[in-house]
Amino acid sequence: MTTFRTTDPDPFDLGFEADDEFAAPAGGDPWRTAPAPAAAASDPFADFPPARRPEARSAIAPGLASLASNPFADLAPPVAEPPRPAPVAAPESASPAMDWNISAHDDVLPGVDAGVGEASVPRIAIHAFGVRAETLAVIEAAAADRRMARASIVARSGGLEAAVDFYQNQPTPSLVLVETMDSAQRMLALLDGLAQVCDPGTKVVVIGQTNDIALYRELMRRGVSEYLTQPKSPLQVIRAVTALYSDPSAPFVGRQVAFVGAKGGVGSSTLAHNFAWSMAERMEAATVIVDLDLPFGTAGLDFNQDPLQGVLDALSQPERLDPVLMDRMMVRCGDRLSLLAAPATLEQDYDIGAEAYEEVTQKMRGAAPFVVLDLPHTWAPWTRKVLVDSDDLVIVATPDLASLRNAKNIVDLVRQARPNDIPPRLVLNQVGVPGRPEIPVKDFGEALGVTPSLVLPFDPKLFGQAANNGQMVAEVAPKSKAAEGVDHLARLISRREAPAATKSASILSGLFKKK
C-alpha cells in the first residue's frame, strides 16, 4: 500500500529559501579546498580592495548601499537539496470495470509550492546582461512565463562589465540581472563600479559560477539583492525575482484550481463542486468555490444555497472588492468551505470585460489557500486567461471523439502558453455507459500525451440522487468509487494526505453504524 506523506499546509511558505542555491558542488569548490589562512587573517576578503571610498558612499544608490551589519552572519552552512521524487503515474484502465484501489494512484507530491499559489511578478522593468548563451536562454524562457506577464524584460549579452558600461549614460531599471564569470576579486570591483551608476531603488541580482557561502555573504553585505549560481530552469529566476518584490504584510496567494469541460455535459461543474467539498472536509483546507457560469451555474443548487449576492456583484465592481466585501458576498457551506455563486438567471445580458474577471480572480486568491473555479463551457478572452493563469487545470472529458478533439486543443494551448508548469490533469468521467462505443482510456490518454489522473465510472443513480438532494456524492455514498476518486484528486492537487483525525473519525463512525 502506498504511503502518503503529509506536507506542511502553511499558506505563507512561498517555497523559496535564500540559501537554496548554495549546495556544495560535486567536484569540490577551489575556495573551500584552498589552504586555510593564518589565524590572524580571519577575513577571507581582507586582501580585496575596499568596497568604495568612504567619501563616495553618500552618492551610491540605496539599492546597493553597504549594510552596517551582516544579516546573514548566523546563516547555517548550506545543505544539498535532495532530489524531488517524480509523481507516480495513475494506473491505466483498459476496461470500464473501474477495479482500481485508491492507494495505487499517484503518490502525494511533496512539492515546495504545496498549498500555495505562485505569485506574479509586479509591473517592473528588468534588464538582464548574460555571458553564457545558456543563461540568456533561461532568462528569455522566464520572460515568456505567465508569472512574468506584467514585467518588461530586455536581455543583452556582455555580462557584468557590459552593464557597467551601458549605465554610464542610461538610467537603471527596477531590477538588473547580471552574469559574471570573473574571479571574486574582479566581480566585487565591477559591482562597485555598477553601484556608482545605479539609480536609487534599483535592485541587483548577480548570477555567478562560484558556489560559496562566504562570497554570498560578502555580496549581501555590499547590498546585492540576490546571488544565483547558473540557474538551470526559468523557475529559479522567476522565484528569485518574485521573492524580491513579495510583501510580507500582504495576504497570502492561494492556489487557483480551474475545472473546465472538454464539451458540454461531461460533469465538469459537478466534479468541481465535489472537489471543493473534499478539499474542505477531507483535506481540512479552507477553500472557496467560485461559479463563473453566470446564466446557467449550478453551484447554488448543488450546495442547496440561494444567496442574495454572488460573483456577479464582484464582477460588476471589481475595484471595490476587498476582504470585507468579499466575505459579505460569499455564503458559508461549512466550517472551511465558502461559495461565490452565480446568479443563474436570464434576466440580463452579462457583458463583462476580461479585465474584471482577471481582477476578481486575482483578489479571490487572498480569500483562502485553495480557490476552485468552475468555468463554463464557452470560449472568450477571459476564459483563455483564466486557464493559462491557474496554478492547476483540470480537464473533464468523456471517452468520445468530440471530447478527445476538444481536450487535445486545450492541452496544446496550455502547454504552449505555460511551458514551465505541470501539464493539465485529465479526468475521464462517465466511463462505461451501456451500449455506447467508447475510446479506451489508454488510447485517450496517449492521444493527449497526458495520463488520466482519475477515471470515474458511469453512475447516474448516485450523481442524480446527490444533485436532487443538494448534497455531495461523499455525503450520499461515502464509500463509493466516485467519492474515493474525488478524494484522490484532492490529495493529488493539494499535495497532502487527509489529516489523521479525519481518518479516525470516519473509521469510528463506520464501526458504530454496524449494529
| Predicted confidence (pLDDT) at residue 172 exceeds the cutoff of 80 | yes
The pLDDT, as a whole number, for residue 515 is 42
Q: In this structure, is residue 404 part of a structural domain?
A: yes
- Looking at the 3D structure of the chain, how many domains does it have? 2
Are 106 and 148 found together in one domain? no
Q: How far is CA 239 from CA 2, 145, 259, 410, 420, in A?
A: 32, 12, 26, 27, 12
Contacts of residue 27, defined as CB under 8 A and 6 or more positions apart, other chains included, come to none
| Predicted confidence (pLDDT) at residue 68 exceeds the cutoff of 90 | no
Last residue of a domain, one of 245, 269, 287: 245
Closest CA relative to residue 330, chosen from 302, 368, 359, 386: 368
- How far is Cα 467 from Cα 482, in angstroms, rounded to an integer? 14
Closest CA relative to residue 494, chosen from 58, 191, 111, 31: 111
The pLDDT, as a whole number, for residue 271 is 98
Q: How confident is residue 230, by pLDDT bands cut at 50, 70 and 90? A: confident
The more confident residue out of 89 and 235 is 235
| Predicted confidence (pLDDT) at residue 53 exceeds the cutoff of 50 | no
The pLDDT, as a whole number, for residue 294 is 94
The pLDDT, as a whole number, for residue 224 is 93
Compute the average pLDDT of residues 35-54: 45
- 190-226 tens-digit pLDDT: 999 999 999 888 999 999 988 889 999 999 998 999 9
Q: In this structure, is residue 14 part of a structural domain?
A: no
Compute the average pLDDT of residues 295-304: 94
Are 217 and 262 found together in one domain? no
The pLDDT, as a whole number, for residue 250 is 64
Q: How far is CA 29 from CA 149, 179, 210, 365, in A?
A: 37, 19, 8, 43
Q: Considering the chain, what is the average pLDDT of its residues?
A: 80
Most confident of 49-63, 345-359, 403-417: 403-417
The pLDDT, as a whole number, for residue 503 is 52
Give all strands (DSSP E) within 189-310, no chain letters.
203-208, 226-229, 255-261, 287-291
Q: Do strands 392-397 and 425-431 pair parallel, antiparallel, or not at all (unpaired)? A: parallel
Cβ–Cβ < 8 Å for 15, 113: yes
Q: Which residues of 318-333 are buried (b: 16+ CB within 10 A; e: fewer)?
A: beebeeeebeebbbeb
Last residue of a domain, one of 219, 245, 271: 245
Q: In this structure, is residue 296 part of a structural domain?
A: yes
Cβ–Cβ < 8 Å for 425, 392: yes
Compute the average pLDDT of residues 335-353: 92
Last residue of a domain, one of 200, 217, 245: 245
Are 450 and 372 found together in one domain? yes
- What is the pTM assigned to this prediction? 0.70
- 92-114 tens-digit pLDDT: 433 333 333 333 334 333 333 44
Compute the average pLDDT of residues 364-388: 93
The pLDDT, as a whole number, for residue 9 is 44
Residue 115 backbone class (left: φ over 0; alpha: ψ -120 to 50; beta: rest): left
Are 494 and 351 found together in one domain? yes
Compute the average pLDDT of residues 178-187: 92
The pLDDT, as a whole number, for residue 313 is 92
Q: How confident is residue 24, by pLDDT bands cut at 50, 70 and 90? A: very low
Are 223 and 259 found together in one domain? no
- How far is Cα 515 from Cα 504, in angstroms, rounded to an integer? 19
Are 415 and 459 found together in one domain? yes
- 240-268 tens-digit pLDDT: 998 898 777 666 788 999 999 999 999 99
Domain hosting 282: range is 102-110+252-513
The cell numbers describing 250, all together, are 500582504
**Residue 432 belongs to domain with CATH number:** 3.40.50.300
Q: How confident is residue 340, by pLDDT bands cut at 50, 70 and 90? A: very high
Give all strands (DSSP E) within 54-137, no chain letters.
125-130
Cα dihedral 133, 135, 138, 142, rounded to 10, equals: -120
- How far is Cα 127 from Cα 7, in angstroms, rounded to an integer? 37
Q: In this structure, is residue 192 part of a structural domain?
A: yes
Are 362 and 396 found together in one domain? yes
Are 292 and 195 found together in one domain? no
The pLDDT, as a whole number, for residue 249 is 67
Cβ–Cβ < 8 Å for 198, 178: no
Gyration radius (Cα) of the chain, Å: 26
Closest CA relative to residue 252, chosen from 143, 161, 367: 367
The more confident residue out of 49 and 246 is 246
Q: In this structure, is residue 276 part of a structural domain?
A: yes
CA 280 to chain centre: 19
Cβ–Cβ < 8 Å for 78, 19: yes
Are 179 and 203 found together in one domain? yes
Are 106 and 156 found together in one domain? no
Q: In this structure, is residue 44 part of a structural domain?
A: no
**Residue 211 belongs to domain with CATH number:** 3.40.50.2300
- How far is Cα 390 from Cα 144, in angstroms, rounded to an integer? 16
Compute the average pLDDT of residues 401-420: 94
Q: In this structure, is residue 236 part of a structural domain?
A: yes
Compute the average pLDDT of residues 406-419: 94
Are 292 and 347 found together in one domain? yes
The pLDDT, as a whole number, for residue 502 is 53
Compute the average pLDDT of residues 64-92: 42
